[in-house]
Amino acid sequence: MNHKRTKKIIGLLWAILLLHLIWLIGSLALNKSILPNPLSVYQHLPSLLIEGIGWHILVSLRRVFLGMGIALFVGTVLGLLMGRSKWLNQLFDPIIYLTYPIPKLALLPMIMLLFGLGEASKIILIVLIVFPQVVLSVRDGVLNIPQHYYDIYNCMQASAWQKFTKITLPASLSAVFSTSRISLGTAISVLFFTENYGTSYGMGYFIMDAWLRMDYLSMYSGILILSTLGFGLFLLIDQLGAIALKWQKER
């Protein structure tokens, strides 16, 4: 396990180094202020911390956590129910498949009209994009549980709650964390887009405001921070998933 983790860390460090090398070469080749070199951007970061970029970071994190949290909770519950109830699956499956292909960003004007320009519209849009992915992934995970698992518990006269907690819920954990990793990137992309409207806080607003002011050092610093936040959250979900699945196996 330690060997695998070491290889993974080395791979990540190599990827980060390679990206910075490409960035540096591009900066030197272009030799213009629109693409500053990595060192200049890193040197600019402390001044942004003094100026209060921490508040923009916290606001963005709050929106991501709320949107992802609501989508994961409601989506997981509905996915579990659809996986175990044939009539619920028949009821909701057509609705989800009908609405899933709709580009949710196109709904932003309507959502802002209905819920205003504040926090609600931004969080709701994240929920709408992540929710269907969670439902379908969890539902499919439950449907793929071998029937003989339930037959064994039926022979032991286990209750419905025991079958749910011992079979259905643990088996759905991998689907929940897998979907979370996939959905996180989408959620952050949506967050960046929504933070350009009706707000003066958030990393999306900060980056676009710096771009409009042609403050390219701040713009690239914001992009770097947002990317780091996304990467950090991805690692957090990955680690939580590993802990949960290890607990599942031990049980």
Give the pLDDT of residue 65: 92
**Is pLDDT above 90 for 198?**
no
**Which sign does the torsion angle of CA 188, 194, 199, 203 carry?**
positive
Mean pLDDT of 32-40: 90
Least confident of 43-47, 135-139, 171-175: 171-175
What digits encode the pLDDT tens for the residues 51-107? 889 999 999 999 999 999 999 999 999 999 998 888 999 999 999 888 888 888 888
Give the pLDDT of residue 251: 55
Mean pLDDT of 230-240: 87
**Is pLDDT above 70 for 182?**
yes
**Is pLDDT above 80 for 4?**
no
What digits encode the pLDDT tens for the residues 113-160? 999 888 899 999 999 989 998 999 899 888 888 888 887 887 887 777
* Percent of the chain surpassing pLDDT 90: 39
The band of 247, judged by pLDDT with boundaries at 50, 70 and 90, is low
From the centroid of its chain, how far is CA 148? 34
Question: What's this model's pTM, rounded to 2 decimal places?
Answer: 0.84
Distance (Å) of CA 54 to CA 36, 38, 58: 22, 21, 6
**Is pLDDT above 80 for 2?**
no
Give the pLDDT of residue 176: 84
C-alpha to C-alpha distance for 138 and 130, rounded to whole angstroms: 12
